[in-house]
Amino acid sequence: MAFRSGRHSLQIPGPTNLPDRVLRAMDQPLIDHRGPEFPAVTKAVVAGLKRAFKCSGPVAIYPSSGTGAWEAAILNTLSPGDKVLAFETGQFSTLWTKLAQRHGIEVDLIPGDWRHPADPAQCEAKLVADKGHAIKAVLVLQSETSTGVASDIAGIRRALDRARHPALLLVDTISSLAIQDFRHDEWGVDVTVGGSQKGLMLPPGLGFNAISKKALAAGKTAKLPRAYFDWQPMIDANDSGYYPYTPATLMFFGLKESLAMLDEEGLDNVFARHDRLAEATRRAVRAWGLEIQCADPKAYTPSLTAVRVPDGFDADEVRKTILDRFDIALGAGLGKVLGKVFRIGHLAYINETLLLGTLAGVELGLAAAGVPVKRGGVDAAMDYLGGNTPAAAAPAVAAARR
Amino acid sequence: MAFRSGRHSLQIPGPTNLPDRVLRAMDQPLIDHRGPEFPAVTKAVVAGLKRAFKCSGPVAIYPSSGTGAWEAAILNTLSPGDKVLAFETGQFSTLWTKLAQRHGIEVDLIPGDWRHPADPAQCEAKLVADKGHAIKAVLVLQSETSTGVASDIAGIRRALDRARHPALLLVDTISSLAIQDFRHDEWGVDVTVGGSQKGLMLPPGLGFNAISKKALAAGKTAKLPRAYFDWQPMIDANDSGYYPYTPATLMFFGLKESLAMLDEEGLDNVFARHDRLAEATRRAVRAWGLEIQCADPKAYTPSLTAVRVPDGFDADEVRKTILDRFDIALGAGLGKVLGKVFRIGHLAYINETLLLGTLAGVELGLAAAGVPVKRGGVDAAMDYLGGNTPAAAAPAVAAARR
Amino acid sequence: MAFRSGRHSLQIPGPTNLPDRVLRAMDQPLIDHRGPEFPAVTKAVVAGLKRAFKCSGPVAIYPSSGTGAWEAAILNTLSPGDKVLAFETGQFSTLWTKLAQRHGIEVDLIPGDWRHPADPAQCEAKLVADKGHAIKAVLVLQSETSTGVASDIAGIRRALDRARHPALLLVDTISSLAIQDFRHDEWGVDVTVGGSQKGLMLPPGLGFNAISKKALAAGKTAKLPRAYFDWQPMIDANDSGYYPYTPATLMFFGLKESLAMLDEEGLDNVFARHDRLAEATRRAVRAWGLEIQCADPKAYTPSLTAVRVPDGFDADEVRKTILDRFDIALGAGLGKVLGKVFRIGHLAYINETLLLGTLAGVELGLAAAGVPVKRGGVDAAMDYLGGNTPAAAAPAVAAARR
Amino acid sequence: MAFRSGRHSLQIPGPTNLPDRVLRAMDQPLIDHRGPEFPAVTKAVVAGLKRAFKCSGPVAIYPSSGTGAWEAAILNTLSPGDKVLAFETGQFSTLWTKLAQRHGIEVDLIPGDWRHPADPAQCEAKLVADKGHAIKAVLVLQSETSTGVASDIAGIRRALDRARHPALLLVDTISSLAIQDFRHDEWGVDVTVGGSQKGLMLPPGLGFNAISKKALAAGKTAKLPRAYFDWQPMIDANDSGYYPYTPATLMFFGLKESLAMLDEEGLDNVFARHDRLAEATRRAVRAWGLEIQCADPKAYTPSLTAVRVPDGFDADEVRKTILDRFDIALGAGLGKVLGKVFRIGHLAYINETLLLGTLAGVELGLAAAGVPVKRGGVDAAMDYLGGNTPAAAAPAVAAARR
């Protein structure tokens, strides 16, 4: 690998650029995870996660990837042969249901074109039709990372309520937690799945389950075998501060710091920042004359924008050109959109300046790759951001005549 | 927590004091785990782990604790109702079998007094008696971390061979890998379970399975449901360098560095160092007049020494005194030996000077806690180490008369 | 200070954004600066500095700022009452001569408008007129950090040669070393002054003197009192590796790393990168309709661009707006141009993407501050960089039709 | 260099083992030293230094070694030809006076045997004899780092007072600040010289002058030329927070953290800890049958113990053996005691456990080097520390009978 000057731009939709504060918080000697200091760390982390999930019940924290947290949600609530309802919004919705199938769960996957969100009306229809309540859970991703499509979780909840269906609601927030608003309690979510490596500004290595009372009760009779991912000892740790097996100590240190940073910025400001940068990105994409993978403007996820390349072009070649020339890593298209989209991550520890540099590199890289794009994407983003930075609403600080 | 000057002494039997080189290798910006640079990291890590396990087959690397790696070993080789043979050498042998039971595995646990290793003769007898080959696997820990008892894996292998029994041999090396000699291939081990946080000098967060051909074949027909811990995609990653779900990027960076350190020191030197420090520790314990939990001198594990406190004393109070006064964290007694032993870790990134400081603090702390010990433990350790440091064998470097 | 998401953009003309590699190299335990390991560090550092200065003689390394290295150059070559010739190219040329005056040196400062470089013809005329060789040294800055004006050192050398004048040539490369070409030996420079915090990608804290034979000889008879800044023990350290007083250990570690990075990139590539980014910046400035402080296109320094704000505007208010809204720190105008210019640093560890983000923030910030600028600066920079990135010269990597 | 496991023991009398907190505080991106955030850093640092020096006047902070701070003290108070009184307590007292001589200062150096402190009676006699007040300053080191001899600064002050002599009192606290009690104001010290790399737990790179009103007044008429080390702009920085030339940003970050740590521990606790560890070390030395270089028990410095090796042995060979076998770096004998003493540093970020490990390694290393020492040094230190750790005075925490 040839030497490259200047910080690399990691603009995949997670894992993300880590704040120095988080890295330094993790660059620490270990402490005894069964010693007197550890419970305070656990408790700070659990309290902070509850603020992020907007939940009041327990939170299980696993040394795992997000996939592990998916598995935990399934294993702790379902029994072999149970049926779940899910929505094909992209690659990750598909993978979650495949994981469930590996455990003997029957999946009713509502097909989708990977460009639209889960449809509450379809959900309601399916549930209403399920007179015998064979469906034990509804699985939905708030943000489908492979396509940049966000589903309306409150809407899905209302669908369940209207159908008066007792199914559990299991929601993946891996690429939406601490990026867009999420309300575990208020929206009646039963298990919320999260991961460390996106909005929480940490490296990959922790998976989360926020758990409702109803989910806990379901867990008492759920019969899928479980040990590593069993909730109970993880729930006990919420109170004791001690874990059933060795926790990922440094990740806890980092998470404590990143949760503090979210508090300092304020979650609402975090959401507004992501909305702003996402809108700027979409304006750039449109100015280039390219198509956004998400076809429903109400369903854009603020964490990433998946961009379709024109027919005849290979999105991975485009990504390679952008990486080679401008040292910007973008996300690949996955599964059905392999080679057809590239994904710009605009999430976590990022601001206007860094986004505009990324968009400038992408704009130049598209041209270098021979993609017939119009210039002006960066300008469109700048036009939008120039009028929408937070300080813009504040009293004018324009340079006074001297 | 009051301010304490000087570096804390983390002398639990793992996680251990991390080398600065490892911490700095992990204090890095993330890279795209699906980008062009990551496979080289994976390949360096896999190659290094193979040297550590002395194995030639694939190695699965999980974002998990060691418990996850236990579960992976079970899920990928066994089917519901299968029977395994195990040995009660302490708390962790017990926990592994309980985990297996959660998955519907029948466990024949040979009882033990937590002071002796797995007995090859008992193993052989059990296997010989199992005419119908109902036993599908033998589970054994090379080093039982709760008691400091090491079992003879080559001896267990010979017991299987003598019994001409086809059971798989599953071995836990969580607190022995890169500490004492282990030979996956030569000893005919089928699955070796390892973790990042002991001899590999990393934080907790990675679990490993080294896998034999026989284990792979068994996996084809094994029927326990598995997804997160499925071997196949992890084995594929050995070649592609890419993982099925987000790997713990920074842990990979750290592991690459710690494996390089093991190469620099040389595994045989690593083993000799641990033997030397362990023997020094045991001499100190005996000089204090205390009893070592491991009652079989051939079965001492070089990673830790579990020390029994006299009747009437609470080992946890002793540990607390040592922590309060000398800022040394020792391991607690677990399970059946709760309150009866404390454990001195002398593993991973440690040398004579640091061990002697620890022993001095323990010696003073025992006295401060009112335990009726003789002084002279540090002296005994010094006597031994004075004659056995590596340079001692070299040509004399005594100060010449000028 | 309110929380700000995303990495801060430190685009002052030094100190600069530090590479992680340098920070990690400095995040190390100290070693004995009189122990057996330190000389290897010293020698690597001295050898690397000689490659950077393109010098073959000794290099003195001081725990000091660049100002200290200025003082060292004066103290080791001159005597009270000596006369030197200097050029008013900006604030720092003025400060260096004031420092000389504090030591009783008479300064003949050729006045300047802070927009043009040192003039070799004026230099020659002054020297020719100095029949008695009262002028003992000529002081010149290769890059005047306050104005972005670069002087032609080879040209000044030729002026001395043409005048057949024996004066020493003392050159400041604080903001040019490892940014633009510099040739201590070839250009007959007698003392080159450098600092750690610009092109060498280190924190402030080290000052350098590269020393010619002629300067060494002058030093034998120079009578200004000197102790801390005396060359001789520092020169001895070039061979022994040990310093007369405690060296700044961690800075040496960092410097060893940054010099290795310069080797990896290759000095000529480093220079080309700076030229490219500087030209892009100037095109942006012109597109905005603003004036560049340096009025001589042959004298642009590649490390920074000083930009004049229109009459009636306060450059510091503009800088404040840009900092507040876009988290970009720019350099202030100093001395005579206080409030009249702001300075964009584009030096050291930086690439196209980061520069374009900076220019975007500056463009928006100028508008927000009410400065009547045209849009299009970023576009102009992109137009230039799109055709001039290194890979652009390589065989086309355009996305192939599939 | 062969690989060595375990953390290196840097037990020279400074620079010292750095706390992780300090290293992490320095492992940060730079900020604009002329931007809005820097003054808060300066002010925290200046306020903390005033607490450490126990002074109320200004403190100058130089990017320099301690030698630079020596020079600053001389340059800002004296004029060419001025006379100073000094005491030969070891190598560093000699070096400071030589530095003064380089600036044309006449030095009256009271000879010493490098084993005794400055004698207030001799001081008084000299001053009384100096009827014409030719002596402008008295130079004394609170702790002579080369010999481990501490002089009584309050006693020297009283000598000046008794002699009714107007000389300034200049004191070096490089190896005593934040280690033993020092009172700039109360003891009437005029300039206190300090450095970053000992009690302040930082890397080398900063030098300090605490300045009395009398010293400030003297500075107005002092005629030694000064620029880099001129007090005035440094004093101005105490109020403005901005420095005349680029400050060593990262060192300021580290200093802010280490001063916070001193506050957390409490200076009196810091002093008591050093006294305790120093006494333990001396008891070990005596038990070995070796002689302490400091021959006056009232004058032991708590930062280090210089140990004499028996005739016929080379202290540097002994140090080499200890370094090779136990990875402990000790300080060499300097100047007149070259090869005759080695120095054990027991200062800064250290505790009982770490010291005892060091003493154990030294005890074994002495034997390995063939030095005829008695064993029992570590025992003697343990006997002392066992009865004198802080918690020992607290209500008994002895393990209760269960």
- Tell me if the bond preceding B15 is cis, omega within 30° of 0: yes
Structural domain contains residue B392: no
**Cβ B391–D325 below 8 Å, yes or no?**
yes
Q: By CA distance, what is A25's nearest residue in D?
A: D24
Same domain, D304 and D234: no
With a cut of 50, say whether residue C382 has pLDDT above it: yes
Say if the Cβ atoms of B349 and D317 lie within 8 Å.
Answer: no
At C338-353, the pLDDT tens digits run 999 999 999 999 999 9
Q: Are residues A350 and A332 in the same domain?
A: yes
Q: Band of the pLDDT at B326, cuts 50, 70, 90? A: very high
**Alpha carbons B243 and B235: distance in angstroms, whole number:** 9
Per-residue pLDDT reduced to its tens digit, A175-226: 999 999 999 999 999 999 999 999 999 999 999 999 999 999 999 999 999 9
Q: Do B67 and A228 touch (CB under 8 A)?
A: yes
Write out the DSSP string of A141-195. ESEETTTTEE--HHHHHHHHHHHT---EEEEE-TTTTTTS---TTTTT-SEEEEE
Claim to verify: residue A254 and residue A278 sit in the same structural domain: no
Q: Which residue of A has its CA nearest to C358?
A: A353
Q: Is the pLDDT of residue C89 over 70?
A: yes
**Closest by Cβ to D351, choosing from B312, B324, B327:** B327
Judgement on whether residues C255 and C326 belong to the same structural domain of the protein = no
Interface test with D, best of B17, B346, B353 (most D CBs within 10 A): B353
- Given this model, what pLDDT does residue C13 score? 98
- pLDDT averaged over every residue in chain C: 95
Of C159 and B1, which is predicted with more confidence? Answer: C159
* C342 bridge partner residues: C307, C332
Q: Tell if the CB–CB gap between D67 and C226 is shorter than 8 Å.
A: no
Check residue B81 and give its pLDDT: 97
CB contact under 8 A, D24 and A20: no
Residue written as token pair 């970050």: D253
The answer to whether residue C180 is domain-embedded is yes
Mean pLDDT of B197-220: 98
Percent of chain C with pLDDT over 70: 96
A95, part of any domain: yes
Q: Which residues of D touch B309 (CB under 8 A)?
A: 399
Q: Which chains touch D (3 or more CB pairs under 8 A)?
A: A, B, C
Q: Which helix (H) or strand (E) holds C53?
A: helix C38-53
**Closest residue in chain C to residue B24, using alpha carbons only:** C24
Mean predicted confidence (pLDDT) in B305-310: 98
Flag whether B302 is in a domain.
yes
pLDDT value of position D390: 60
* D328 to chain C: closest CA residue: C32
- How many domains is chain B partitioned into structurally? 2
Distance CA(B167)–CA(D32), nearest Å, equals 67
CA distance A175 to A200: 10
Average the pLDDT over B212-235 and give the result. Answer: 97
Proportion of chain B above pLDDT 90, given as a percent: 96
Q: How far is B331 from chain A (nearest CA, A)?
A: 8
Give pLDDT, residue C388.
75
Range scoring the smallest mean pLDDT among B139-153, C372-386, C387-401, D279-293: C387-401
Cβ proximity of D350 and B5 under 8 Å: yes
Cis preceding-peptide flag for B297 (omega within 30 of 0): no
Maximum Cα–Cα distance across chain D? 78
| Nearest CB to D6 within list B349, B369, B371 | B349
Radius of gyration (C-alpha) of chain A in whole angstroms: 22
| pLDDT tens, position by position, B356-381 | 999 999 999 999 999 999 999 999 99
Give the helix/strand (H/E) hosting A46: helix A38-53
CATH code of residue A239: 3.40.640.10
C168 membership: H or E segment, kind and range:
strand C168-172
A9 to chain B: nearest residue by CA? B31
Domain boundary among A202, A233, A263: A263
Statement to judge: residues C49 and C150 lie in one domain: yes
Domain C-terminal end among A263, A289, A310? A263
What's the token pair of residue C318?
Answer: 């503009």
CA angle A175, A176, A182 (to 5 degrees): 155
Q: Are residues B254 and B296 in the same domain?
A: no
Mutate to test the interface with A, among D7, D22, D24, D253 (most CBs of A within 10 A): D24
D-chain CB neighbours of C24 within 8 Å are 27
CB contacts of C36 in chain D (<8 Å) are 323
Boundary residue ending a domain (D263, D291, D324): D263
Q: What pLDDT is recorded for position A388?
A: 74
Does the distance separating the beta carbons of D360 and B401 come in below 8 Å?
no
- Same domain? For B73 and B44 the reply is yes
| pLDDT of C61 strictly over 60 | yes
Domain CATH number, residue B306: 3.90.1150.10
With tokens 């690429």, the residue in question is A175
In a domain, B328, yes or no: yes
Asked, for residue D400, whether it belongs to a domain, the answer is no
Given an 8 Å threshold on Cβ–Cβ distance, is B352 in contact with D5?
Answer: no
pLDDT of residue A390: 61
Residue B369: list chain D partners with CB under 8 A: 397-399
C29 neighbourhood in chain B, CB within 8 Å = 20
Tell which residue, B258, B260, B355, B259, has the closest CA to residue B23. Answer: B258
Predicted confidence at residue C395, as pLDDT, reads 35
Chain C positions touching D64 (Cβ under 8 A) are 63-64, 68, 228
Residue-level pLDDT at D1: 56
Measured CB to CB, residues of chain A less than 8 Å from chain D are 20, 24, 27-29
Q: In B, which residues are within 8 Å of C30 by CB distance? A: none
For C62, the token pair is: 């001081």
* Calpha distance C213→C221 (Å, rounded): 13
Give the gap in angstroms from C-alpha C11 to the nearest C-alpha of chain D: 9
In the predicted model, residues of chain D with pLDDT beneath 50 are 392-402
Judge whether residue B394 has pLDDT over 80: no
pLDDT of residue C396: 36
- Binned at pLDDT 50, 70 and 90, residue C401 comes out as very low
Do D143 and D25 lie in a common domain? yes
Whole-model pTM?
0.96
Instruction: Choose among D296, D292, D289: nearest CA to D308.
Output: D292
Report the gap between the CA of B221 and the closest CA in chain A (Å). 14
> What are the structure tokens assigned to B106, written together?
């029948």
D61 in a structural domain: yes
**Closest Cβ opposite residue D23 in set C14, C27, C228:** C27
The shortest C-alpha distance from B20 to chain C (Å) reads 7
> Are residue A193 and residue A341 in the same domain, yes or no?
no
Among A353, A358, A379, select the one facing C327 at the smallest CB separation: A353
Interface contact B27-C28, CB threshold 8 A: no
Q: Has residue B395 got a pLDDT over 50? A: no
| 3 state DSSP class of A198 | coil
- Assess whether B295 and B338 both reside in one domain: yes
> Chains that contact B by 3+ CB pairs under 8 Å?
A, C, D
More confident residue, B146 or A396: B146
Does residue D328 lie in a domain region? yes
> Tell me, what's the pLDDT at C389?
61
Contact: B397, D5; criterion CB under 8 Å? no
Same structural domain for residues C289 and C307? yes
Cβ contact B67–A33 (<8 Å): no
C interface residues, B as partner, C-beta within 8 Å: 20, 24, 27-29
Residue-range definition of the domain harbouring residue A364:
9-16+267-386
- Per-residue DSSP letters for D13-60? SSS-PPPHHHHHHHSS----TTSTTHHHHHHHHHHHHHHHHT--S-EE
One-letter amino acid identity for A53? F
Taking CB atoms and an 8 Å limit, are B6 and D354 in contact across chains?
A: yes
The pLDDT value given to residue A392: 43
For tokens 């499925």, the residue is B230
pLDDT of amino acid C2: 77
Low-confidence ranges of chain A (pLDDT < 50): 392-402
* Mean predicted lDDT score pLDDT of chain B: 95
Round to whole Å and give the CA distance between C320 and C306.
16
Are C124 and C242 members of one domain? Answer: yes
- Cα of C388 to nearest chain A Cα, Å: 10
Closest CB to A29 among D20, D27, D29: D20
